[in-house]
Structures are given as C-alpha cells and as structure tokens.
Structure 1
Amino acid sequence: MKVIGKHLTVDMYGCSFDSLDNLEFIKTAMLEAVKEANMTLLNLSYHKFEPQGLTALALLAESHMSIHTYPELGYAAVDVFTCGDQSRPDKALAVLKSFLKPEKTKTTNIMRGDFGSQKDMKPRIKISIAPLRRVRNTSARVWSLLRKK
C-alpha cells in the first residue's frame, strides 16, 4: 500500500525577533509557501500572543501547515503535513526558510499512514564503533609509550 502523506516538522533556530513577532510578515510567508508548494488554502487562522509570539495555521485541502513562534528564543516550530502527490511540502519549507532566515534548522520527515509497508517506519539504529576503536587504540599506544619511558 502507498503512503498516505508526508509530514515535515522543522525546528528553526536563530531567527530574528522582529520576523517572528510580526503577524503580517508570517501571514505573507505562509501564503507564499502555500502558493509555491502547489497547495490549496481553505482557511488561514492565527493568534498573536502578548507580550510576544504567535501561532498561524493554514488549513489546506491537502492537510495543514502551522507555525508557532517564540521570538524571545529566536525559535519557530513549523509543521507541514500534506496528502497526495501534487503538493510539495519541501518547497513550502524552502519558502519559509527564505523568509525567516534561520541560522540552524532541524528537519524530521515522517511518512504518515504506511500501514506497515515502509521498512523505514521501524527505528534504525546505526552505530559506528570505528571512532571508539580508534580512541581505544590511541590510548593503548599512549600508555605503552609512557610505560617505556
């Protein structure tokens, strides 16, 4: 069975206070992201908090996009969840990044509704012991040299 949707969550760090606390700026960024990502906007809802911060939610025919801002931390939490093959959540994120200009981002890509068909739904733990082995071997050599002296 095919995956139902793509859900991208992005933590954006190092954004400017003024950008994150400006409701009109965030609304413009979201509308541009919706347009560029080939999404259909049904409704845009938002709330400005006092003394700072805001939440904006775009209800889409394909699903939703949301932004929660924490201007005092320079942080924005962004979610883009889309169903179907026509919309491009990656393009929406690129637009939002160009508006917010974060210094650092952390993106998580979640495949929604796979009904057990995707192998990547089980956590894969990848551990490389080569660096640990190098450290152990290096410390053994150092001790060996110290004992000889």
Structure 2
Amino acid sequence: MKPIGRHLTVDMYGCSFDNLNNLEFIKMAMLAAIDEVSLTLLSANYHKFEPHGLAALILLAESHMTIRTYPELGYAAFDIFTSDDLSRPERILAVLKRFLKPEKTKTTNIMRGDFGSQKDMKPRIRVSIAPLRRVRNTSAKVWSFLRKK
C-alpha cells in the first residue's frame, strides 16, 4: 500500500530566546509557511507559558503542524504532518528555518501509513549480548587457570 502521508519531527537548536518567546513572531512564521506552501488553514490554537515558552497547534486541510518552544534552551520542537502528495513538509521546514535561524537542526522523516512496506520504517536496532558473554566466560576461564597454578 502506498504511504498515506509524510511526518517530519524537527528539533531546532540555537534559536534566539526572543524569537522563541514571542507568540506573535511564531504565529507569523507558521502562517507564512502555510501561505508560501499554499496549504489550507482550518484552525489555529496558541498558548503562551509563564515565565517563557509557547505551544501552537495549526490544523490544516492537508493535516497539521505543531510547535513547542523552550526559549531558555534556545530549542524548538516542530511536528509537520502532511497527507497531500503536493504539500511537501520540507518546504514548510525551509520557511520556518528562514524565520528562526537555528544553529543546528535535526530532522526525522517518517512515512505514515505504509504498513511496513517502506524499508526505512523497519527497526534497524539489533542487540546481541553473545560476544560479551563469550568474553566474560573466557576471562573466567583464564582466571580459573591462573589460580590453579
């Protein structure tokens, strides 16, 4: 089955405290991204935390976009999910980067709804403790041998 959508999780590091703590600036950045990529805004919800930080959720006809900022850390976490083939989330990300000017960005691209058909969605973590056990057993044998002499 063809994937339903693309989901980017984005960590932005080294952003300006003032920008990350300014609700109007974040609104402007997110709405500019939506406008530039020609997405359809359905609703938006924003919340300013005290003493600093904010959260925003934008519901789109094509899916959604969220942000949570930590100005004291210079960090912003974005979630960009698009289910429309024409609205590529990396275009939204490019606009957000232009506004926030992060020093570093970490982006994870997830294909949603592929039901395991995409190679990158399968876990690549492999844990094997057998080599460690062999080393431990070998060292135990060596110590045992040395103690006998």
Short-chain TM bin: 0.7 to 0.9
How far off is 1:86 after superposition?
Answer: 1.9
CA distance in 2 between partners of 1:125 and 1:38 (Å)? 38
Q: Secondary structure at the match of 1:52?
A: coil
Tell me the distance in 2 between the aligned counterparts of 1:51 and 1:125. 40
Mapping of 1:108-119 within 5 angstroms?
108-119=108-119
1:27 maps to: 27
Q: Residues 101-144 of structure 1, C-alpha deviation per residue, up to 9 Å, x if partnerless?
A: 00001000000000222122113369xxxxxxxxxxxxxxxxxx
Q: For each residue in 1:26-82, what CA deviation from the matched residue of structure 2 results, as whole angstroms up to 9, or x when unmatched?
A: 000000111122211101110001100000111001110011000000000001001
Aligned match of 2:15? 15
Query: Using the alignment, how far apart are the partners of 2:108 and 2:51 within structure 1?
Result: 30
RMSD: 1.3
Could you tell me which residue of structure 1 aligns to residue 65 of structure 2?
65
Note if 1:97 corresponds to 2:97.
yes
- Name the CA distance, whole Å, in 2 between partners of 1:36 and 1:114: 28
TM-score normalized by the length of structure 1: 0.81
2:120, 2:80 → 1: CA distance?
A: 20
Matches of 2:33 and 2:91, distance apart in 1: 7
- Is the CA contact 2:8–2:79 (under 8 Å) kept in the aligned structure 1? yes
Equivalent pair of 1:38/1:86 in contact (CA under 8 Å): no
User: Runs ≥4 in structure 1, deviation > 6 angstroms?
Assistant: none
Deviation, structure 1 residue 83: 0.2
Residue type of the alignment partner of 2:98: S
Q: Partners of 1:117 and 1:84 in 2: how far apart?
A: 19
Distance 2:6 2:88 in 1: 9
> Is the aligned partner of 1:6 residue 2:6?
yes
Q: Is the 8 A contact 1:67 1:78 kept in 2?
A: yes
Residues 3-26 of structure 1: per-residue CA shift (max 9 Å, x gap): 001000010000000000000000
The corresponding residue for 1:85 is: 85
Name stretches of at least 5 consecutive residues in structure 1 with no aligned partner: 127-149
Once residues 78 and 19 of structure 2 are traced to their aligned partners in structure 1, the CA distance between those partners, rounded to angstroms, is: 14
Question: Contact (CA 8 Å) 1:12, 1:77: kept in 2 or not?
Answer: yes
- d(CA) in 2 for partners of 1:5, 1:64: 11
* Amino acid paired to 2:91: K
TM superposition score normalised by structure 2? 0.81
